[in-house]
Amino acid sequence: MNPFLTVLAKECTDNIRDYRSVFSSLSVALLGPLLVVGLLIFVLDKTLRDYEEPIAFTLIGAEHAPGLVAYLRANNTQVDQREPVEDPSTLIELGEAEIILVIQPNYGERYTDGLQNQLALFFDSSSYSSGRRDLATLDRLIERYSDTIGTLRLRYRGIQPGLIRPIQTRKIDVSSPADRALMIFSSIPYLLMLVIFTGCFYLAIDATAGERERGSLEPLLTQPISRFQLVLGKVIAAAAFSLLNLIVFLISLYFALQLVPFESIGMSLELNLLQLIMIIAITSPLTLFAASLLTIVSAFSKSYKEAQTYLSFVIIIPTLPLIITQIVGIEPSLGSMFVPSLGQSILISQIIKGEAVSYINILLSVCATLSITLLLLIQAVKMYQREQFVK
Amino acid sequence: MIKVTSLTKSYGLVSAVNDVSFEAASGQVTALLGPNGAGKSTILRILSTIIDPDTGSATLGGFDVSTHTTDVRRQIGVLPHNTGIYDRLTAIENIRYFGNLQQVEPTLLNRRVDELVHLLDMGEFCNRRVSGFSQGQKMKVALARALVHDPQYILLDEPTNGLDVMATRALRKVIHNIKAAGKCILFSSHVMQEVGNLCDHLVILGHGRHKFSGTIEALEEKSGTEDLEDAFIMISSEGAPDQ
């Protein structure tokens, strides 16, 4: 058997038997998608409720303004009518109401006389949560009613309503529940990077810093195997576990997505097999990159503990380009394909959103990442060749 | 034959080995003796191609450790001082790993593993994972691993460290066995007593310098005492800066 394969097989066996570490890295891959989907279902649920749920409020003095009340009732509201109380705010304090609209007994009189009516709207800005939307909507409804009446009165008197209201804005919210869902989906590339790096985390430490600390590195280095084959065996073993983690993550994501009620927001987002394979093809060079990078860092550290500390920081590095580009707002360009992790993230986002993906970009990203990986590998071999390495 | 010529090695400002020369013949057991810090491990590490000498040379069977590294590696079996075996692998897996790295042909490897399991009496635990093994069991695994490719040169770094009487006996038996097969055995120790009934040839080091080479009889003659321990202390501290 080729010595490289011997090392590869040994490192894989060794790592698989370290149940705890295997389980802990796989759990990230398994639970990550559930977390995203859970968040997604929560947001969708809330958005849909916002769209459909009636506005709830308490009304005092409904009999004084039948016109207004009829208008409110016709506009998806849930009215809780009450007898007048001395201080309506106590109802809120007692928790019996969240929003109270009070209509004074002289409403009809003033209405007929063409005077302005002040309606009191009681609420507690420090306590209510779902009421915030209700309050704004109710306020808007009343305003719209008031506008309509006012406009009619002006017209009746032969005055153009535009005279007192020269400007009016019209707000058009083009966001849909589907857009909000996609926003949550943009966290998937981050998670993917994390999953790839945690996949090879333990093996990279164990096969380098761990091996040195336990004193097994020295006899290993007396074997007639080139340092390049030795390092390659270790790096590929580590990358294999990253790939395993990646595949587990995607499978978990695939099934988790089935739980999301996409049809309720009129959108069909499903990852098909082709898309999954494309994601694997695009990100697999990154597993080699991660394995080489982590191997170098743990070869550089003096002990297992030190390696763990360094690597916990290094794991954050692949997410930095993503965060920086989002903050600075760099447009995804050809150049970004050359940066490992950034190129892949952009491509994955495009695939998830169902946008067209340029094959040149894929090729660029794969080649760039592999070239950088090769440089890292050469560096790792150099570190293994130094005699201070065993100390 | 192992031939060490004017070997010198320093770690920074600390001189570990200073102009040491000696020979170790095949079919013989040679002991590298010296107190702690005498440079025994450094010499063994140079011979096992882990580190390079600063000056001087070391050859095994005519192959220089610095220039013909791979040839040397094919011919040596190394038992490091802390065994250095893998906890999560079984005893046999540990042995086979190095057998494969030495590219021992598969059927031959199977036979060698069987032989070694028998020779070192490992039948009871050879298929168990190493984690939890006693010091003696670990030493046996490490020794079997060092011998799996039937090397001509066997380098043992303080092999009896931490072993009980039974395990020491087993080790002695194996060393006699491989000596009879014409191998060249070099082991380091700082315990004079265990050397007496094991080795044919002595090399004594002190403070990184060569102090004595020869048989036990020659040592007794030179030091003028029959007590090996006294002789050892006398020879190894000769001319030491702090004496």
Say if the Cβ atoms of B101 and A14 lie within 8 Å. Answer: no
Contact list, A387 vs chain B (CB under 8 Å): 50-52
Range name among A7-21, A338-352, B8-22, B115-129 with the lowest pLDDT average = A338-352
Inter-chain touch A218–B51, beta carbons under 8 Å: no
Residue A233 C-alpha, separation from nearest chain B C-alpha, in angstroms? 12
Give the pLDDT score at B242.
45
A interface with B, Cβ–Cβ below 8 Å: 1, 3, 6-7, 10, 13-14, 17-18, 214-225, 387, 390
pLDDT digit string (tens) for A7-29?
999 999 999 998 888 888 899 88
Nearest CA distance, B147 vs chain A (angstrom):
12
What is residue A374's predicted lDDT score, i.e. its pLDDT?
95
Contact A224 B102 (CB under 8 A): yes
In whole numbers, what is the pLDDT of chain A averaged over residues?
A: 85
Out of B50, B76, B84, closest to residue A216 by CB? B84
Provide the shortest C-alpha distance from residue B98 to chain A (in Å).
7
Q: For chain A, what is the HEC assignment?
A: CCHHHHHHHHHHHHHHCCHHHHHHHHHHHHHHHHHHHHHHHHHHHHHHHHHHCCEEEEEECHHHCHHHHHHHHCCCEEEEEECCCCCCHHHHHCCCCCEEEECCCCHHHHHHHCCCCCCEEEECCCCCCCHHHHHHHHHHHHHHHHHHHHHHHHHHCCCCHHHCCCCCCCCCCCCCHHHHHHHHHCCHHHHHHHHHHHHHHHHHHHHHHHHHHCCCHHHHHCCCCCHHHHHHHHHHHHHHHHHHHHHHHHHHHHHHHCCCCHHHHCCCCCCCHHHHHHHHHHHHHHHHHHHHHHHHHHHHCCCHHHHHHHHHHHCCHHHHHHHHHHHHCCCCCCHHHHCCCHHHHHHHHHHHHCCCCCHHHHHHHHHHHHHHHHHHHHHHHHHHHCHHHHC
A215 to B45: CB separation less than 8 angstroms, yes or no:
no
d(CA B126, CA B132): 13
Q: Give residue A249's pLDDT.
A: 93
Sign of CA dihedral B71, B75, B80, B83: positive
Segment A156-202, tens digit of pLDDT: 888 888 887 788 787 776 666 666 667 777 778 888 888 999 999 89
Six-digit token string for A357: 């993906």
Task: Please tell me the predicted confidence (pLDDT) of residue A268.
Answer: 62
Mutate to test the interface with B, among A11, A218, A225 (most CBs of B within 10 A): A218
Q: What confidence score (pLDDT) does residue B243 get?
A: 37
Q: pLDDT digit string (tens) for A129-142? A: 656 778 888 888 89
- Asked if A221 lies within 8 A of B49 by C-beta distance, the reply is yes
